[in-house]
Structure 1
Amino acid sequence: MSVRRRIVLATAIITTIGMGMLVALLAIVLDAVVDDEIDGALRDRSAAVIATVEPDGGSLLVRETPDAALDKLAWIYDSSGSLKEGPETSGPLTGTADSLGTVEQTTVVEIDDWRLRAEPIVLDGTRLGTVVVGVALVPYRTTVGYAIAGSAGLGLLVSLGMSLLAAWTVGRALAPVAVMARRAEEWSEDELDKRFELGDGGDEITQLGRVLDRLLERVSRTILAEQRLTAELAHELRTPLTVIRAEAELAGADKRMGAQGHKRFERIAVSAEQMSDSITTLLSLARGSFLQEDAVAVERVFEQLSALPMNLNRRCELVFDPGGTLFFAVPENVAIRALSPVLENALRYATSRIDVTARPNGENIEVRIVDDGAGISVDPAQLFAPGYRDPGSPGAGLGLSLARRLARAAGGDVELIAEADETAFVIILPRATRRRGELPAATSS
């Protein structure tokens, strides 16, 4: 769930709970206020009825009153409980009023939708009878119900309004973040001049954008410096390597030298050639792109890999399966430099066999390298970090990192797939669809 949705959801929940508590409190207060209003109305009605009564020789006399409603809602009983004045109809209400006609103190009861109040009539210290008055509860309860329903509806509208306001506010506030994420997603690894450029706003998000722009500037300068250093070193190493190769070829051409000497100088020349290819590859990686060359056959790359002087564990059986007529859309030296560190790692840990298979996958070719060793003993998440290695490994921990950088610079990747029965490295490189010239046969060893 996005930050915006979490904030809006939290606002809706908090607002709904708050409005619910307010509605509940309003219902309690309304109930208390209405209850007091009903009791007050009963007291006033009872006092009005008592005001119409006067003593008559130990009994009581009810004067006539113009209030017709008073006759319908009031009963007057003498000291013996006999009805003197009031409705004479039968029913639960009248029966309850009759049962209250002899009470000695003020009594309040509810029956159905009515509340009755019975109060003794005491004049000049003598109890002359009882007055019972009633109030219908339906109008009060209806009013309270409407008030609570209206408050609940208003609370829902407030909650909805607050949620919409929060969504709008948070959306406006986080809009620069969405812009930053979209721009960062569109940038490639080689676009070091790109910046967020959110403007001169004073809010925290804009300030964060400016801080990130400054950070990107420092990172860009560092990467450019690294690229310049790599390019300069590669350029400076090319000349002595050319001299070494030329001298080795000249010395190897001397007919007076024995076969062993010729082989030594030949190995020097081959190593110098390999170093030159590595320097060319590193120089292309420093530029962030590779020269557009003809595609190279997977068979050709596998043939070159099988001939590399990786004397780590040559007793292992190397089984290459090119998967048919496939071509990498990268220069030959790039494909070899991307695959050789992974193959060298497999040679280091394999027991008896290494399988190298190539299979097409859409616009890419996936090369899967599987060995029968004990598996990965280091953290897979840090395996491709530069300089990170198994404590028992003699390497510098740079091979796998370089292989991934080369593959990604070419538009591919290097991944580790750790399964229950095997651990495999998968090198993904772009696939080419055409190739000029004849292809050499692949070999297996």
Structure 2
Amino acid sequence: MRVTIRTKLTALFALLFVVLAGVLVTTAYLFVASATTPEAQRADRQQLLEEALAEQGITVPATPSPTPVPGGRPDDAVGQVLDSIALEARQRVLDDLLQRSLLAFALSALVAVALAWWLAGRVLRPVDEISHAASTLSERTLDRRLPEDGPDDEFGRLRRAFNGMLGRLEAAFDARQRFAADASHELRTPLAVLRASADNVLSSSRPSKQARELAEEVEQQVGRADSLMTSLLTLARADDVIHTREPVDLADIAAEVVSAASPRATAAGIAIDLDIADAPVLGDPVLLERMLANLVDNALRYNRDADPWVRCRVRTDAGRAFVEVSNAGPALAAADIPALFERFSRGDQRSEIAGHGLGLPIVARVARVHEGVVDAWPGDEGGLGVRVSLPARHDEQAA
């Protein structure tokens, strides 16, 4: 059972009340008991009698007090009866006082627990506000702040510290986004210059053999660097913020991706089987396009030489949109598949194939930021099957 701070404070306040109330009840009972003893009652009656006679002007000579014996005053039958009646009345009064005190103590304890629970809630309300604000924060809501118009106490300082932390986080995320945009611009420009220079050499009428080989190598490495940069920027975009939540159809994206990859598949002799149905979702079109492009590129890149094929299926079922891409490739063990979703890891069986190990990690990250799930399994005859499940878009969401 989870014991909260509010429960602990309630128990502490209630225990404090119970101890104080117990001391009060016990003290009152002892005072009443000591004030109603037979000796105290005889002294009170004697004092009242003397005061009454003094008011009448009668002076009573002082006489030594007789030695008391159990059961009343000696040689005084009336006094003994009065003492017996006084003792019985005293016991009844004490018993009634004890019962009423215990009943009042129990009722007061219940009220004290309720008041202690309410008081603990009032004391911890600022902490609940901060906890709720922290649990609802995301990369898109870092501009929110807690109100600081309360008293300058411990909770006020905690609010100011929390708001200061949010400000620093917001500045850090903004710096990351600006860095991604600046890096994209600064890195693409020299790559474009290198590619244009290599194309000029290759398109010249009579390039030397050495110049052609160097230009081809430069063009190949520029393409690899451009692919790596695109993958890194995609990861940075997914790690930072989903900038848009637009109604998109995974079937349309899959058709565009497969159409763009068809020339490459035809040149490699790979047959692509496309089976799509409407799969509407809400998401970032750029990230979703990169997710499907990486799935198809991964299936084309890691395929077998004899009778290669790639299968891409898109469908909707039970409120979920599914994208499944599988291929015929080298045999994989189920224990090796989780490592393929780690950044810059391509697995032992894929080390001989060119790649930078970011394809499937991008797929997993994009699916995660869209509240999706990725499943992967080895094919019966080799290859890999990957299925991405995303929440399907409803009509009211599109509206």
Shorter-chain TM-score above 0.5: yes
Q: Does 1:206 align with 2:165?
A: no
Q: Secondary structure at the match of 1:62?
A: coil
Instruction: Please tell me the root mean square deviation across aligned C-alpha atoms, in Å.
Output: 5.8
Partner Cα separation in structure 1 for residue 390 and residue 221 of structure 2: 26
Give CA deviations for 1:37-77 in whole Å, capped at 9, x if unaligned: 56x336865999996899xxxxx983575x6xx52554xxx
Instruction: Return the match for 2:334 from 375, 378, 386.
Output: 375
Which of these two proteins has the greater Rg computed from alpha carbons?
1
- Aligned to 2:334, the other structure's residue is in SS state coil
Q: Structure 1: how far apart are the matches of 2:188 and 2:220?
A: 18
Residue 416 (str. 1) matches residue 369 (str. 2): no
Q: Where does residue 196 of structure 1 map in the other structure?
A: 145
Q: CA deviation at 1:160?
A: 2.1
Change beyond 3 A, Cα 1:378–1:18: farther
Paired amino acid for 2:387: V
Per the TM alignment, residue 167 of structure 1 is displaced from its structure 2 partner at its CA by: 0.9
Given candidates 353, 357, 360, the residue that maps to 2:313 is: 357
Q: Is the 8 A contact 2:234 2:362 kept in 1?
A: no
**Residue 298 (structure 1) aligned with residue 278 (structure 2):** no
Q: Is the 8 A contact 1:323 1:357 kept in 2?
A: yes
In the aligned structure 2, how far is the partner of 1:274 from the partner of 1:327? 33
Q: For the residues of structure 2 that align with 1:232 and 1:162, how far apart are their CA atoms?
A: 62
Question: Are 1:322 and 2:332 counterparts?
Answer: no
1:71 aligned residue = 81
Q: Which residue of 2 aligns with 1:121?
A: none
Given that 1:342 and 1:399 are in contact with CA atoms closer than 8 Å, whether structure 2 keeps it comes out as: yes
Letter in 2 for 1:375: A
Distance of 1:61 and 1:335 partners within structure 2:
109
> For residues 7-406 of structure 1, what are the structure 2 equivalents within 5 Å?
7-24=5-22, 36=34, 40-41=37-38, 62-63=75-76, 71=81, 73-74=83-84, 134-182=88-136, 184-185=137-138, 187-188=139-140, 194=143, 196=145, 202-242=156-196, 244=198, 250=203, 296=252, 298-299=254-255, 301-302=257-258, 308=264, 320=273, 322-324=275-277, 330=285, 334=290, 336-340=292-296, 343=299, 356-360=312-316, 365-369=321-325, 373-377=332-336, 384=341, 386-387=343-344, 394=351, 396-404=356-364
Once residues 217 and 10 of structure 1 are traced to their aligned partners in structure 2, the CA distance between those partners, rounded to angstroms, is 38
> What residue number does 2:61 align with?
none
Q: Which amino acid aligns with 1:19?
A: F
The TM-score with structure 2 as length reference comes to 0.57
Deviation of 1:325 (Å) = 6.0
Aligned to 1:210, the other structure's residue is in SS state helix
Letter of the structure 1 residue corresponding to residue 7 of structure 2: L
Q: Distance in 2 between matches of 1:241 and 1:51?
A: 127
Q: State the distance in 2 between where 1:273 and 1:335 align.
A: 19
1:370–1:425 CA contact under 8 A, matched in 2:
yes
C-alpha separation in 1, matches of 2:45 and 2:243: 103
Equivalent residue, structure 2, for 1:426: 387
* Matched residue SS, 1:322: strand
State the distance in 2 between where 1:414 and 1:42 align. Answer: 87
Alignment check: 8 A CA contact 2:364 2:374 kept = no
CA distance in 2, matches of 1:330, 1:415: 18
Contact 1:367-1:427 at 8 Å conserved across structures: yes
**In 2, distance between residues paired with 1:274 and 1:389?**
15
Q: Given the alignment, which residue of 6, 20, 34 partners 2:4?
A: 6
Q: Flag the structure with higher helix content.
A: 2
C-alpha deviations, 1:136-182, integer Å up to 9, x for none?
52211111222232233333333322221221221134424434544
Change (3 A) 1:63 1:35: closer
Q: Which ranges of structure 1 fall in alignment gaps of 5 or more residues?
A: 55-59, 75-113, 116-132, 255-264, 434-445
Q: Give the aligned length.
A: 335
Cα offset for 1:366? 1.9
Q: Give, in angstroms, the shift of residue 229 of structure 1.
A: 0.8
Displacement of 1:207 in angstroms is 1.0
Q: What residue identity is the alignment partner of 1:366?
A: F
Structure 2: segments with no counterpart, 5+ residues = 47-63, 206-214, 395-399
Letter in 2 for 1:398: L
Supply the distance in 2 between the matched residues of 1:427 and 1:375 (Cα, whole angstroms): 18
Give the superposition deviation at 1:402. Answer: 2.8
Q: Which has the higher strand share?
A: 1
Deviations 1:358-405 (A, max 9, x none): 21258974213468842244768xx75544665776365422233345
Per-residue deviation, 1:216? 3.0
The one-letter code matched in structure 2 to 1:10 is K
Separation in 2, partners of 1:431, 1:28: 69
CA distance in 1, matches of 2:319, 2:178: 31
* Alignment partners' CA distance in 2, 1:417 and 1:71: 96
Is the contact made by 2:300 and 2:310 (CA closer than 8 Å) also made in structure 1? no
Does the aligned pair in 1 maintain the 2:323–2:388 contact within 8 Å? Answer: yes
Cα distance change of structure 1 residues 374 and 402 upon mapping to structure 2, 3 Å threshold: same
